[in-house]
Chains A and B, each alone.
Chain A
Amino acid sequence: MKYQSQLVAKPYFIAAIGLFIGQIIFGLIMGLQYVIGDFLFPEIPFNVARMVHTNLLIVWLLFGFMGSAYYMIPEESETELYSPKLALALFWIFLVAGALTIVGYLAVPYARLAEMTGNDLLPTMGREFLEQPTITKIGIVVVCLGFLFNLGMTVLKGRKTSVSLVLMTGLVGLALLFLFSFYNPTNLVLDKFFWWYVVHLWVEGVWELILGAILAFVLIKTTGVDREVIEKWLYVIIAMTLITGILGTGHHYYWIGAPEYWQLIGSVFSALEPIPFFMMTVFAFNMVNKRRRDHPNRAAVLWALGTAVMAFLGAGVWGFLHTLAPVNFYTHGSQITAAHGHMAFYGAYVMIVLTMISYTMPMMRGRAAANSLKSQVVEMWAFWLMTVSMVFITLFLTGAGILQVYLQRYSDAPQAFMVVQEKVELFYWMREYAGLVFLTGLLLYVVSFFIGGKEHAEQRA
């Protein structure tokens, strides 16, 4: 670790992993509720479990991105962080606000929570992924402003690199687009437009910039390939991301009451959206193939390569599967969407944060570059358990989705939603078992950090 202030990333990563475990537990609860409808009812109704599952995902990924940025920016800028104290203060504010919000979801009915937090003064609640009380949203904005100020001042006083520029663009975009969550028009079509400006332009826009920058940073550090080569790839990837992703938002406008031309625009541009992910796969493997050294942290390299592959499969392939308007007419909002969502989030964003944690944690815990070989073997087991089980979760949900679409929407005698849900129960059980394997992998990942031993040394200079 080159700069002492990079250490502020550590609490962010620890909180991220803690919240990740919570997210998976709620995912398992919800998975069980798919097949045992009254499981934990009325204590944790399905809608609440779902809200906690998705909100925890967003919050822990944000912790992960922030931790990654606090680690990367000082190193890229070749200077200490502007204010480590501000970073730590914002960490506690964000953690307490996030925890209180989750407790609020679980402790009181959602409508009561809206009432208690003064939603009527500035109504922003009630929309998927943006369920947070307005006061929490304001807190997120404050944290983001402080975070960007801290990073911005660090970049300004130090070296400016393409990696930090792309990362900062992604983070500023993330913060700016979140502001649309404060606009909640009564016109539902308009509301959906602005809602997608947050949700879509995050995950298929600016978050991909953050992903690209983190991947580039880790590859520079672990492969020893010239920064210039990696930066050229990064520029092309982010250009393709924005070219395809911005108008690709159109695939969300098909059936919300927007003009029909969106079906063409959305289909064409979102069909191109796999390209940056495909390039990312070629990029990552190409850099590792051209590596000038074998980095001792083999687990981190495995995570980096896994990110490229799984992001391509989850976001690229499974996204394309149902993105064309004539296909989406039938598949919209079915389990096929859930299959895509699971693999895309895991492949693109969960894995890149875990890559960064895997790369940085050994150094933040006092090692030169890597954990012991024994620890890395356990971590690589965790990688495979989580990744393979996520592939199966995706396949089972895809199977459920195909059946659902056919029985509920395509057949000559379409059946009711709940009737069909019973018919695809087998897939839901199999998804639940795969989810348990995923949790096992995640727990192994945590365990791997507590396995001591002599540091694994670099093999080849």
Chain B
Amino acid sequence: MATEITPTGGKRLAIAAEALYLANLLVLPLLAFLLLWWLYSRQGASAPPLAAAHLQQSVVASLWAGLLLIPLPLLTLILSGGSLTGWTVAILWFVTCHAALVLAGALGLARAMAGKPWRYPLIGGGKS
């Protein structure tokens, strides 16, 4: 693993961003996202680089999570006519996707706690 020299300012805000991303997925869906969005719109531009990166990544990943976890399984069910295969695919998709998103969030939280930046794999866009 390569050595990284990273900004450590804004660690608390970075941790809060990742924690809210996880809370949105685990305990307070939507409400935690609204809080995250509020934090992002209020502090995203002026935050230290570390916090700004985590805030931006958490918001983008939350939006992707919403897309992957709600409309896509619903579409699968509708297109399959509610068949058994449709349910099996939709449940498997939801469980796997949700677990992967939570896992990515856990890694993001660990990075934030260590004062390092984090880019969500696949859904995080360009380098933060």
Name the CB-closest residue of A to B109. Answer: A282
User: How many angstroms from the CA of A309 to the CA of B107 in the assembled complex?
Assistant: 9
Contacts of A290 in B (CB 8 A): 114
Stretch at the interface among A37-45, A85-93, A395-403, A445-453: A395-403
User: How many angstroms from the CA of A379 to the CA of B3 in the assembled complex?
Assistant: 23
Interchain nearest-CB distance for B43 vs A (Å): 23
Those of B100-117 within 8 Å (CB) of chain A? 102-103, 106-107, 109-111, 113-114, 116
A309 in contact with B3 (CB, 8 Å): no
User: How many angstroms from the CA of A294 to the CA of B103 in the assembled complex?
Assistant: 24
Interchain nearest-CB distance for A251 vs B (Å): 18
Contacts of B110 in A (CB 8 A): 281-286, 289
Contacts of B3 in A (CB 8 A): 460
Interchain nearest-CB distance for B96 vs A (Å): 7
Interface range on chain A (Cβ under 8 Å from partner) = 20 to 34
Those of B77-126 within 8 Å (CB) of chain A? 84, 87-88, 91-92, 95-96, 98-99, 102-103, 106-107, 109-111, 113-114, 116
A282 in contact with B91 (CB, 8 Å): no
Name the CB-closest residue of A to B88. Answer: A402
How many contacts between A and B, using CB within 8 angstroms? Answer: 53
Q: Which of B1, B106, B116 contacts A294 (CB 8 A)?
A: B1
User: How many angstroms from the CA of A460 to the CA of B99 in the assembled complex?
Assistant: 34
Contacts of B116 in A (CB 8 A): 289
Interface range on chain B (Cβ under 8 Å from partner) = 20 to 34
Name the CB-closest residue of A to B116. Answer: A289
User: How many angstroms from the CA of A309 to the CA of B100 in the assembled complex?
Assistant: 10
A317 with B95, Cβ < 8 A, contacts A285-B106, A294-B1, A407-B84 known:
yes
Those of A326-348 within 8 Å (CB) of chain B? none
Contacts of B92 in A (CB 8 A): 395, 398-399, 402
Write the A279-314 contact mask toward B (1 if CB under 8 angstroms, else 0).
001111110111000100000000000000100110
B114 in contact with A309 (CB, 8 Å): no
User: How many angstroms from the CA of A113 to the CA of B57 in the assembled complex?
Assistant: 61
Contacts of A255 in B (CB 8 A): none
Q: Which of A294, A312, A317, A406: most chain B Cβ within 10 A?
A: A317
Q: Which of B1, B87, B106 contacts A312 (CB 8 A)?
A: B106
User: How many angstroms from the CA of A321 to the CA of B110 in the assembled complex?
Assistant: 24
User: How many angstroms from the CA of A40 to the CA of B116 in the assembled complex?
Assistant: 55
Write the A312-325 contact mask toward B (1 if CB under 8 angstroms, else 0).
11000100010000
Name the CB-closest residue of A to B113. Answer: A286
A285 with B95, Cβ < 8 A, contacts A309-B103, A403-B84, A403-B88 known:
no
A289 in contact with B106 (CB, 8 Å): no
B88 in contact with A317 (CB, 8 Å): no
A313 in contact with B107 (CB, 8 Å): no
A402 in contact with B109 (CB, 8 Å): no
B111 in contact with A289 (CB, 8 Å): yes
User: How many angstroms from the CA of A313 to the CA of B116 in the assembled complex?
Assistant: 24
User: How many angstroms from the CA of A309 to the CA of B110 in the assembled complex?
Assistant: 12
User: How many angstroms from the CA of A374 to the CA of B107 in the assembled complex?
Assistant: 28
Contacts of A289 in B (CB 8 A): 110-111, 113-114, 116
B102 in contact with A317 (CB, 8 Å): yes
User: How many angstroms from the CA of A314 to the CA of B48 in the assembled complex?
Assistant: 37
User: How many angstroms from the CA of A312 to the CA of B106 in the assembled complex?
Assistant: 10
Interchain nearest-CB distance for A176 vs B (Å): 33
Interchain nearest-CB distance for B99 vs A (Å): 4
B88 in contact with A399 (CB, 8 Å): yes
Q: Which of B84, B88, B95, B113 contacts A282 (CB 8 A)?
A: B113
Contacts of A196 in B (CB 8 A): none
Is the C-beta of A193 less than 8 angstroms from some C-beta in chain B?
Answer: no
A286 with B114, Cβ < 8 A, contacts A403-B88, A406-B87, A407-B84 known:
yes
Contacts of B113 in A (CB 8 A): 282, 286, 289
List 8 tightest A-B contacts by C-beta distance, closest first. A289-B114, A285-B110, A286-B110, A317-B99, A281-B106, A282-B110, A402-B88, A290-B114
Query: Told that A282-B113, A283-B110 touch, could you supply 6 new A-B pairs with CB distance under 8 A?
Result: A285-B106, A309-B103, A312-B103, A313-B99, A402-B87, A403-B84
Interface residues of A, Cβ cutoff 8 Å to B: 278, 281-286, 288-290, 294, 309, 312-313, 317, 321, 395, 398-399, 402-403, 406-407, 460
A-B contact pairs, 15 of them (CB 8 A): A281-B107, A282-B109, A283-B110, A284-B110, A286-B114, A289-B111, A290-B114, A294-B1, A313-B103, A395-B92, A399-B88, A399-B92, A402-B88, A402-B91, A460-B3
